[in-house]
Amino acid sequence: MLRTHYVADVGEKEQGTEVTLAGWIEDIRNLGGIAFLLLRDKTGRGQLTCIKKEAPDIFESLTGLTRESVVAVTGPCQKNERVRNGWEVLPRRVTVLSTADAPLPMGVADKVNVDFDTRLDNRFMDLRRDEVQAVFRIRDTFIAAAASFLAGQGFLQVHTPKITRASPEGGTEVFRIDYFGRDAYLVQSPQLYKQMLMATGLDRVYEVAWYFRAESHDTTRHLNESTALDVEMAFIDSEEDVMAVAEGVVHASLEAMAAERAEELALLNVELEVPRLPFPRITYDRAVEMVAEEKDFTWGQDLGTEEEKMVGRKMEAPFYFITKYPLEAKPFYAMPDDDGRMARGFDLACRGTEIASGAQRIHDPALLEKRLRQLDMNVDNFADYLRSFRYGMPPHGGFGSGIERFLMEALHLGNIRECILFPRDQKRISP
Ligand code: ATP
Ligand code: MG
């Protein structure tokens, strides 16, 4: 490797010895006879101190660099109390690995506000900033902790197709693609496939899945390409079994994020509170009562953004479930209650924003077909899906939770685009 040490790995032991650091030159202060450079790698920043009369060639080459150029620098490390990390490196050999053009498309270290579009147009630069990287380090911990929690509960990680002929939630919000001259779609979610897997005996599966949704709304909490944690489990008693897993995932991952990402959370000024289990549950009817205190609302509709916010303000806990939705507010595959009026579905919300939706599903193929017909959906489009219900399908349920949606709420970021590397929305398909 080109380096012997990352900046953060230089300690007491390295003092007086030679090290090779490699990274980006963030700042150059040339005072004439002496120059101070800041070298940044993924672990932090270290000072290079270059004295002209000791090493004139190296002084020239280092002070002549453009900011954000990439170098490998070798030299003795020595203590210096005036430097933030207590040491500096005196460069004796320098290899310029890549020279950055000037001017830079945006600053990395400067605290100047750049508009969001400029940041996204130059995402590779934007991601050099600590607070931007912090989001993706926390995201990594979230997914790893969720996966580890689910593995501990006997869930198997799976990957289902993203190109399909049938679209789970109806026809309008899908991206159509040309599949060798035939129409195909990008999946809106792994819904149909993860349910089909319940007919296999695998029993408990999860997927870190891609959702492709051609929704034309332009909001701060929707993307047209997003990722989600999708869970499905068989032999459940009711949707309560699914909710226990959903709250377990949230709880375990928040705990891991708080424990392992204190530095990143501090950069984002976020104090993560790990909510107590179990999360409160309120019924849809109760939520409607809360909404009715503030505005007229027709029973039966799904709660919209405004209504979700109203409920969120009235709940004390940050995370809570809304249960027992009217059947018409949930997708065709949601299991109806005994009287057929309500669905055994739930939403998990964080401070007034939906972060997950789940349900016990219908496992009786006749009822499933009946529901499709009631909703005027084309049964033929679901032939493969329905077939998997005819030869032994246990009761099952699951949920889907948007990864960016969850992070945006947990980290109090105002825009979901902050939580995905290269966002896709109506206006943006590049970079
Ligand atoms: P919403 O009502 O918030 O638009 P939804 O009810 O249409 O979401 P579901 O089909 O229930 O979404 O999807 C499950 C989860 O996936 C949601 O709770 C949310 O966390 C996430 N999600 C759904 N659509 C999007 C999107 N367009 N962008 C980002 N995340 C999404
Ligand atoms: Mg939903």
Q: What is the pLDDT of residues 271-311, one digit of tens each?
A: 998 999 999 999 999 999 999 999 999 998 889 999 999 99
pLDDT at site 2: 97
Per-residue pLDDT, averaged over 422-429, amounts to 96
| Low-confidence winner among 118-122, 164-168, 327-331, 418-422 (lowest mean pLDDT) | 164-168
One DSSP character per residue, 269-304 reads T-----PPSSPPEEEHHHHHHHHHTTS---TTSPP-
137 is catalytic: no
CA dist 246 and 233 (Å) reads 11
Tens-digit pLDDT profile for residues 185-213:
999 999 999 999 999 999 999 999 999 99
The protein residue whose alpha carbon is closest to atom 27 in ligand 1 is 222
Beta carbon of 228 within 6 Å of any ligand 1 atom: yes
Nearest CA to ligand 1 atom 22: 402
- How does residue 167 score in pLDDT terms, banded at 50, 70 and 90? low
Q: Can you say how many angstroms the Cα of residue 319 is from the centroid of all Cα atoms in its chain?
A: 17
Between 58 and 112, the higher pLDDT residue: 58
Closest to 17 in 3D by CA, of 99, 98, 90, 85: 90
Mean pLDDT within 308-334: 96
Atom of ligand 1 nearest to the CA of 355: 20
Give SS3 for 206. Answer: strand
Q: What is the pLDDT of residue 170?
A: 58
Alpha-carbon span 30 to 67, nearest angstrom: 13
Q: Give the tokens for residue 362.
A: 């219908």
Contacts of 65 (CB under 8 A, 6+ apart): 25, 28, 37, 71, 96, 99
Nearest protein Cα to ligand 1, atom 6: 357
pLDDT tens-digit map of 378-416: 899 899 999 999 999 999 999 999 999 999 999 999 999
Mutate to test the pocket of ligand 1, among 174, 192, 222, 325 (most ligand atoms within 8 A of CB): 222
Choosing from 219, 220, 404, 405 the residue with most ligand 1 atoms within 8 A of its CB, the one to mutate for a pocket test is: 405
> From the centroid of its chain, how far is CA 66?
34
- Token look-up 């919209």 returns 304
Is the model's pLDDT at 30 over the cut of 70? Answer: yes
User: Would residue 357 show up in a list of annotated catalytic residues for this protein?
Assistant: yes
Sign of the torsion formed by the C-alpha atoms of 83, 84, 88 and 94: negative
The answer to whether residue 112 scores a pLDDT higher than 80 is no
424 in catalytic set: no
- Per the annotation, the verdict on 405 as an active-site residue is yes
The dihedral of CA 114, 116, 120, 126: what is its sign? positive
Average pLDDT, the chain: 95
